[in-house]
C-alpha cells in the first residue's frame, strides 16, 4: 500500500457517519461540547453556514450569527469530537460558494431565501 491509502484508512476510523448533508446558505444548529470544571455540557450554536472548506477529516464549516447586534462567526471542524451534533433547520438558496458579503449587511438584508428541492 502507498502512503495515501494508509492515510485514508486511518482517517476512515475518525470520520463521523451521522452528519447530515450541509450546504452553504443553510441554517444549522451545532452542538458544541463545553467542559466547565469537571462537568461537560452541550451548548447549541445556531447560525447560517457562510463557507465550507476542505474535505474528509479536515472538513470545516463557518457558521455566522448575530448576537446582541454583533456578528459572530465560528469555524467548526465537522469530524471533531467537540462537535456533538449538527442539525439542518432550514435550507437556503444561494448563488455563491462563499457568503462573505453577509458580513457587510445588517438586519433584514441578511435574509436568505428558502430552498425546497433538497430535503432536510
Beta strands in 5-79 (DSSP E): 27-36, 39-53, 60-67, 70-77
Q: What is the CATH number of domain 3-110?
A: 2.30.30.790
pLDDT number for residue 2:
83
pLDDT number for residue 10:
83
CA torsion, points 82, 66, 94, 29, in degrees to nearest 10? 30
Give pLDDT tens digits for 64-116: 999 998 999 999 999 999 999 999 999 999 999 999 999 999 889 999 999 98
Give pLDDT tens digits for 15-27: 888 999 999 999 9
**Domain ranges across the chain:** 3-110
How many CB atoms sit inside 10 A of residue 28's CB? Answer: 21
Amino acid at each position: 500500500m502507498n502512503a495515501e491509502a494508509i492515510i485514508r484508512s486511518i482517517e476512515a476510523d475518525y470520520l463521523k457517519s451521522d452528519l447530515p448533508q450541509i450546504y452553504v446558505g443553510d441554517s444549522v444548529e451545532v452542538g458544541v461540547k463545553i467542559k466547565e470544571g469537571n462537568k461537560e455540557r452541550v451548548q447549541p450554536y445556531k447560525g447560517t453556514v457562510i463557507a465550507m472548506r476542505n474535505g474528509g477529516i479536515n472538513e470545516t464549516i463557518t457558521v455566522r450569527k448575530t448576537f446582541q447586534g454583533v456578528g459572530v462567526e465560528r469555524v467548526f471542524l465537522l469530524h471533531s469530537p467537540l462537535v456533538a451534533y449538527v442539525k439542518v433547520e432550514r435550507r437556503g438558496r444561494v448563488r455563491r460558494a462563499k457568503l462573505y458579503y453577509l458580513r457587510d449587511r445588517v438586519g433584514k438584508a441578511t435574509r436568505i431565501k428558502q430552498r425546497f428541492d433538497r430535503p432536510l
